Amino acid sequence: MTNPTAFEDKFGFRRSDVGLANWRTTPFNRWAFQNVGELVPSARIEAGPAAGETAAADMSGLLGETVALAEGSETVAGFLARSHADALTVMKGGRFVGDWFAPHMAFGNRHLVFSISKSLTAILAGILGGEGRLDLEAPVTTYIPEAVGSAYGDATVRHVLDMTVSLDFEEAYLDPESAFARYRRATLWNPGGGEEGLEEFLLSIKRLPGPHGEVFRYRSPNSDLLGMLVERASGLRVPELLREKLWAPLGACGEGAITVDRLGAARTAGGISLTPRDLARIGEMMRQGGLANGTRVVSEAWVRDTTTAGSQDAWKRGDMAQLFPEGRYRNKWYQSGKGSYCGIGIHGQWLFVDPASEVVIVKMSSQPEPVDDPLDHENVAFFEALATMV
């Protein structure tokens, strides 16, 4: 049993203070984002036989260095503290060159990455596409016939991958009366869930009048529907797919997890937890064109498509164009317009890949607000500066 005094000394509150009603709020998220399985039912993603890290790479020499941000210069350590960082892991040329952890997070701990889960699920779609098991341009109803009558009834897998479904849904994170709150109850992330499952909720969403494919609309249910698509196409559950298609060939060293609803439907839009290093390994695999340890994980063509294709017009018509004015969104990854690309999750989760400098950066955080646009811009500037320093 956890020593209450030790727990309080580490986190500043008691374990009994944390529940479904407050786990994503400050200060409770500092613990909850590392221990989601104690709050929401979760399925294991087993690590391979080579599991186990050796030791953290020293980053102390970098923490005192100064980076230029929008509001002026700041040390690396200062920015990490101000941005509520829990962990920072940096790779250069395929090697781990630095690991930093806040006092409340230990090396080897896993952390919820929220919407970076979307980017990982899209890799599964790319793998199944390369195997000929999932047609990325096919109608959704090819795999989910019961989607007829929902917003997805006349959408394609491509629309789902690129967030261009004309979906009548708002990403209202903080509104307890919204459809988004109902969505979170269906995933068991909020109190009062259990009567409606995730799949039932997804297929109840209606479409907007406009055509699919023209506007980037960031709507998380699209990515849970992608989880349904990869399961229908493969005949395997998402945790099995992640273990077999991603964790094993990557040589992941830590066990992962994904939250599930009452019927075992995986929250592929935001429910994956993994270690910073294993997330960095995924970024490095992308930087290597789909290869990890000499093993082909996903096709080079899919990685190239993910990092260079997509509609810039649809992006600019969308609601996030201010983050990357010259960017695009493809296969649930963001392109910066400067050659780098990333996966992003709310509350400050980042997987940043810069092929030009051969750098991969993972930052995991417990920001108080789900979305903080000014801090997002500062994070991007921080990553770009850090890539030139390591």
The 10 Å Cβ neighbour count of residue 191 is 13
Among the listed residues 115, 117, 223, 340, the single catalytic one is 115
Active site residue 115: yes
3-state SS record for the chain? CCCHHHHHHHHCCCHHHCCCCCCCCCCCHHHHCCCHHHCCCEEEECCCCCCCCCCCCCCHHHHCCEEEECCEEEEHHHHHHHCCEEEEEEEECCEEEEEEECCCCCCCCCEECCCHHHHHHHHHHHHHHHCCCCCCCCEHHHCCHHHCCCCCCCCEHHHHHCCCCCECCCCCCCCCCCHHHHHHHHCCCCCCCCCCCHHHHHCCCCECCCCCCCCCCCCCHHHHHHHHHHHHHHCCCHHHHHHHHHHHHHCCCCCEEEEECCCCCECCCCCEEECHHHHHHHHHHHHCCCEECCEECCCHHHHHHHHHCCCHHHHHCCCCCCCCCCCEEECCEEECCCCCEEEEECCCEEEEEECCCCEEEEEEECCCCCCCHHHHHHHHHHHHHHHHHC
> Which residues are the active-site residues?
115
